[in-house]
């Protein structure tokens, strides 16, 4: 027997602040320039990635970035070595790193420089963990 039920959507449903911000940054860049790529998929949502592809924005790996290209760093952030490589390639960098993630990067960098041992729990191959490391 079927009973009636009410389906409610939480007020906080949808993308988190950092992901929402990153997506908006990519779409805003489309108004200003061409030849935009994202360093990896901008989000773990194939519909958004496919929409961006339809507009000419493709996810690439670092070794696929061409000189002078506009590269959007996704909300997960990246390590300082990636910024260095992008600078070598004279890439126009649009840094969409979530401010909360960037704060974690700064804390890890400062504490590590001060000699503290930093323990990071997570998948070592995940972009956000790599960025913190």
Q: 10 Å Cβ neighbour count for 91?
A: 20
| Residues classed as catalytic | 128
CA-wise closest residue to 74 among 36, 20, 38, 29:
38
From CA 131, how far away is CA 124, in angstroms rounded? 10
**What is the CA 104 to chain-centroid distance, rounded?**
14
From CA 36, how far away is CA 47, in angstroms rounded? 18
Q: Tokens 């339809």, residue?
A: 54
The SS3 of residue 112 is helix
């Amino acid at each position: 027997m079927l009973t009636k039920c009410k389906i409610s959507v939480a007020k906080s449903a949808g993308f988190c602040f950092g992901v929402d911000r990153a997506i908006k940054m990519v779409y805003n860049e489309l108004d200003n320039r061409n030849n935009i790529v994202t360093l990896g998929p901008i989000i773990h949502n194939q519909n958004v990635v496919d929409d961006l592809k339809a507009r000419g924005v493709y996810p690439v790996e670092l070794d696929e970035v061409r000189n002078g290209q506009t590269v959007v760093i996704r909300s997960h952030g990246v390590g300082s070595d990636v910024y260095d490589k992008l600078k070598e390639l004279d890439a126009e960098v649009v840094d969409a790193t979530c401010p909360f993630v960037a704060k974690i990067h700064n804390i890890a960098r400062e504490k590590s420089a001060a000699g503290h041992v930093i323990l990071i729990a997570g998948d070592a191959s995940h972009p956000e963990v790599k960025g913190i490391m």
